[in-house]
Amino acid sequence: MLKTRIIAVFLLVIAVAIGWFTYYKGTFKLGLDLNGGTHLVYKADISKIATSEVRVSMEALRDVIEKRVNIFGVGEPIIQVEQGGILGSSEAQEKLIVELPGVTDINEAVKSIGQTPVLEFLTLDQKDSEAVSAKTELSDEEKNLEIAKLFKPTGITGRVLTKAVLEFNPNTGEPSVLLNFNAEGKALFSKVTKENVGNIVGIFLDGTPISLPVVREEIKDGKASISGAFDLEEAKLLVRNLNYGALPVPIELISTQTVGASLGQSALQGGVRAGIISLIVIGIFLIVWYRLPGFIAVVSLAVYTIIMLGLFKLIPVTLTAAGIAGFILSIGMAVDANVLIFERMKEELRKGKGISDAMHEGFARAWLSIRDSNTSSIITGLILYYFGSTSVITGFALVFLIGVVVSMFTAITASRVFLYAVAPKKTTKLSTFLISNGFTRTFTSPTNIIK
């Protein structure tokens, strides 16, 4: 008994610690419908893509847009591919759904997502440049146009760029942009710089030169630095644009929707209110109907709620209205497991068994039913999460899955430990009344059972 009580106290201390962490550390990640934001729907042009390549291209599109959105500074964006019509038919459609929680400037979001900058490296022979510059009969503008025509492509584009990083000169503090290439880009850049020592390798963005450095030596490490031509804000903008990358599939914005912060706050308050009311009503029912085990179930339910909220912050889970609904539903699953256990205990008491034996038999006999019902719920949740085509479905499924798993722990482990820790040692009329449930008379002798 002492060991069981120590374990029970330990579980309570852990629950309090998790509750403290949940209350004081950070905030919950809220989805679009609770935090407000922007909902964008894009239609992808797949007319020039082979049917077998559509899925891969759309996944690549999703990854590129996700990278752009993260650079845009959005927390927990939701980006999904949605297929409509019959793939391979003239009516097939591929859509990209972009949800940006907390983003209020729609125009800026659309502009940032839709940009398709083209990054190119072009070479120019230094002698040719000097020859054009020496032509006195040409104006400066004509010389620039003439020089622009002399640049030749190298095959190095944004396609082979891994990332761009903002750096600062340790001596002057001036900003510079460091470019890192992938394996293919590294080999190309090494070849181009080796063949153009003394010449210009220009860096062009959307056809406009942003840097025209002269190559001093072969660069083998796959890194290039752009500096000296911009201030800090221009350097930040350049890094952002370079990291965007080009879209693998053309897209067209077909729908925008704004969810106001006030509407999101109303939905959040409504969900929290529903959760609190459900907990209170369930708690009252459990205590009135199941007495001591019901009180233990309420304590376990509190532990369950604390663990769930802690996991929401730790993972973290982006909470939506659908997710809160899944959380409330999982509360019912947690209570259901306790109800099964307590009803089994009542049956054992009616057979004339003592309190200790009734509790052990109740948990043992209820386990199979709890296991089977929760397993079916987990399978259903996994199917919803895997095949869910919208964030509403996947958000609900994720929270529901976590809730079912945690409820199994609190119902089987926590409830049992707490109940064993406070259960009466002797079987008396009072102790039997406290452990049994309902308002009908409970008999302790099998010969007195009314059939």
Asked if 92 and 86 touch (Cβ cutoff 8 Å), the reply is yes
Confidence check: pLDDT of 442 > 60: no
Fold of domain 119-244: Gyrase A; domain 2 (3.30.1360)
Residue found under tokens 């912060």: 261
DSSP assignment letter at 160: G
Q: How would residue 444 be classed by pLDDT, with cut points 50, 70 and 90?
A: very low
The predicted pLDDT at position 427 comes to: 73
Q: How many CB atoms lie within 10 A of CB 109?
A: 21
Q: What band does 72 get if pLDDT is binned at 50, 70 and 90? A: low
d(CA 39, CA 78): 9
* Cα three-residue angle 160-162-163, rounded to 5 degrees: 130
Report the percent of the chain where pLDDT is more than 70.
87
Q: Average pLDDT for residues 244-253, to the nearest whole number? A: 72
Residue 200 · residue 129 · CB < 8 Å: yes
Of 70-79, 199-208, 400-409, 428-437, the least confident: 70-79
Domain positions in the chain: 2-31+260-448, 37-116+249-258, 119-244
CA dihedral 150, 154, 155, 161 (to 10 degrees): -110
Q: Say what percent of the chain tops pLDDT 90.
A: 10
Does the pLDDT at position 118 exceed 70? no
CATH topology assigned to domain 2-31+260-448: Multidrug efflux transporter AcrB transmembrane fold (1.20.1640)
Residue 445 has pLDDT above 50, yes or no: no
Residue 23: pLDDT above 90? no
In 250-290, beta strands by DSSP E:
251-259
Whether the pLDDT of residue 389 is over 80: the answer is: no
Task: Say which range, 52-66, 108-122, 347-361, has the weakest mean pLDDT.
Answer: 108-122
Cβ 434 vs Cβ 292: under 8 Å: yes
More confident residue, 240 or 72: 240
Of the candidate ranges 11-20, 155-164, 369-378, the one whose mean pLDDT is the lowest: 155-164
Measure the CA angle with vertex 79, ends 75 and 84; round to 5°.
Answer: 160
Amino acid at 332: G
Name 84's Cβ contacts closer than 8 Å, sequence gap at least 6.
92, 93, 94, 95
Band of residue 258 on the pLDDT scale cut at 50, 70, 90: confident
What is residue 187's predicted lDDT score, i.e. its pLDDT?
A: 92
Cα 224 from chain centre: 34
Average per-residue pLDDT in the chain?
A: 81
Q: What is the pLDDT of residues 80-90, one digit of tens each?
A: 888 765 444 44
Q: Which residues contact 442 (CB under 8 A, 6 or more apart)?
A: 346, 349, 350, 432, 433, 436
225 vs 283: which has the higher pLDDT = 283
User: How far is residue 302's CA from residue 436's CA, in Å, rounded to a whole number?
Assistant: 22
How far apart CA 403 and CA 372 sit, in angstroms, is: 16
Q: How confident is the model at residue 448 (pLDDT cuts 50, 70, 90)?
A: very low
Q: How many CB atoms lie within 10 A of CB 416?
A: 20
Is 411 within 8 Å of 377 (Cβ atoms)? no
DSSP reduced 3-state for 74: coil
Please determine, for residue 139, whether its predicted confidence score (pLDDT) is greater than 70: yes
CA separation (Å) from 236 to 157, 224, 230? 20, 16, 10
What phi and psi, each to the nearest 5 degrees, are found at residue 184?
Answer: -65, -45
Q: Which has the minimum average pLDDT: 10-14, 91-95, 271-275?
A: 91-95
pLDDT value of residue 54? 83
Per the CB < 8 A criterion, the answer to whether 305 and 380 are in contact is: no
**Tens digit of pLDDT for each residue in 149-202?**
889 988 888 778 888 888 888 888 888 888 889 898 899 999 999 999 988 888
Q: Which of 25-29, 159-163, 390-394, 445-449 is most confident?
A: 159-163
37-116+249-258 CATH? 3.30.70.3400
Query: For residue 451, what pLDDT band results from cuts at 50, 70 and 90?
Result: very low
Cross-strand pairs, 208: 205
Q: What is the pLDDT of residue 402?
A: 92
HSE of 383, CA atoms in CB hemisphere, 13 A = 6
